[in-house]
């Protein structure tokens, strides 16, 4: 590789793969990136092996985009290895940033997950109740698989992260902005989330009248007014508690924000902050009955955890399922 070029890497952990596609979604701009840097490690796109990565020196990779949460021992091992080999490590996308949708599995223990996936689905044909094992011996050969960890964690739960580019997946414009800062040597201080500093509501073109609501609806259940705030229409939109930077793209097409950019500055927990926001707009009756009415209204939602913590359960205050004894269920 020419000495004047940077070396970049990309890795796909516990995620759907959309973030790797998002990098390719730069289209012709990826050529600008390749003028600036050479790909030194990207298993999803090129034929790199872990041994190639292990052969690099400390901080030999100038930049690595890491997408996906930490679900397995393999994810954790490679995260630590990439941290050692990378001068700059970027949490790229919602799963690396907040645990993402895979983090919703934290509402179940590991054994419960295996039972559901391998034994209880309507299409399962598993009379022997076989589940994946970490080590299996067959015909004198041993197959070893990565261990499924008790919890899905975000990347910063395992290693130090230098920058975060949020989104599910990050929009091309945001990735381009980050690369522009990189190539110009103008990156912000380490630890920054490279996106907006306000909320999605600040970018949304809908008119918010702060109306009180007496019923919660899902988008497919009502006819949506394209000019009116979704919350004013009784549709839970996470825009008030989600970092700006996406241009309000989901509300623009009549879909509520689900929170993929994570919380804005000074918001620790998206879900509880959203519940606080809802409490101010729900039309409730007598003060003594307000809490019960709020519970009844929220119970009409088929999936409260999935609604308020679609992307951020791993990094929420409680992190997932809690056992009767008050401890996080890690079985």
- With b meaning 16 or more CB within 10 Å and e meaning fewer, what string describes 39-64? bbbbbeeeebeeeebeebeeebbbbb
pLDDT in tens, 21-71: 998 888 777 777 777 889 999 998 888 999 999 999 999 999 999 999 999
Name beta bridge partners: 328.
Answer: 322
Q: What does the pLDDT average to over 120-140?
A: 91
What is the structure's pLDDT at 286? Answer: 57
* Cα–Cα distance measured from residue 9 to residue 240, given in angstroms and rounded to the nearest whole number: 34
Cα gap 239→256, rounded to integer Å: 8
Question: What's the pTM?
Answer: 0.90
Instruction: State yes or no: pLDDT of 4 exceeds 90.
Output: no
Please, are residues 250 and 257 in contact by the beta-carbon 8 Å criterion? yes
What domains are there in the chain, each with its CATH number? 6-101+151-193 (3.40.50.700), 113-149 (no CATH), 200-300 (no CATH)
Least confident segment among 68-77, 88-97, 288-297: 288-297
Q: Residue 290: pLDDT band by 50, 70, 90 thresholds?
A: low
Quote the mean pLDDT of the chain: 89
Tell me what the mean pLDDT of segment 153-161 comes to.
Answer: 97
276: pLDDT confidence band, cut at 50, 70 and 90? confident
- pLDDT-derived band at 326 (thresholds 50, 70, 90) equals very low
């Amino acid at each position: 590789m020419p000495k004047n070029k940077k070396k970049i890497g990309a890795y796909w952990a516990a995620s759907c793969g959309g973030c790797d596609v998002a990098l390719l979604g730069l289209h012709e701009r990826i050529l600008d990136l390749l003028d600036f840097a050479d790909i030194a490690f990207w298993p999803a796109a090129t034929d790199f092996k872990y041994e190639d990565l292990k052969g690099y020196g400390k901080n030999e990779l100038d930049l690595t985009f890491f997408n996906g949460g930490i679900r397995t021992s393999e994810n954790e091992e490679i995260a630590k290895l990439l941290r050692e080999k990378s001068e700059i490590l970027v949490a790229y996308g919602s799963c690396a940033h907040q645990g993402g949708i895979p983090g919703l599995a934290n509402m179940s223990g590991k054994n419960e997950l295996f039972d559901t996936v391998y034994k209880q689905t309507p299409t399962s044909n598993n009379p022997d109740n076989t589940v994946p094992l970490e080590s299996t011996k067959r015909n004198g050969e041993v197959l070893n698989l990565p261990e499924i960890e008790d919890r899905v964690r975000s990347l910063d739960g395992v290693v130090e992260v230098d920058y975060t580019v949020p989104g599910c997946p990050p929009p091309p414009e945001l990735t381009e902005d980050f690369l522009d800062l990189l190539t110009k040597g103008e990156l912000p201080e380490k630890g920054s989330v490279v996106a907006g500093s306000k909320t999605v509501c600040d970018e949304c073109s809908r008119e918010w009248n702060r109306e009180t609501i007496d019923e919660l609806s899902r988008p497919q259940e009502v006819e949506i007014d394209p000019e009116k705030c979704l919350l004013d229409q009784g549709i839970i939109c996470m825009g008030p508690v989600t970092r700006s930077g996406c241009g309000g793209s989901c509300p623009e097409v009549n879909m509520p924000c689900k929170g993929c950019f994570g919380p804005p500055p000074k918001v620790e927990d998206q879900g509880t902050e959203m519940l606080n926001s809802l409490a101010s707009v729900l039309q409730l009756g007598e003060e003594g009955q307000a809490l019960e009415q709020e519970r009844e209204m929220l119970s009409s939602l088929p999936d409260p955890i999935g609604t308020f913590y679609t992307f951020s359960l791993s990094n929420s205050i409680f992190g997932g399922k809690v056992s009767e004894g008050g401890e996080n269920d890690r079985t």
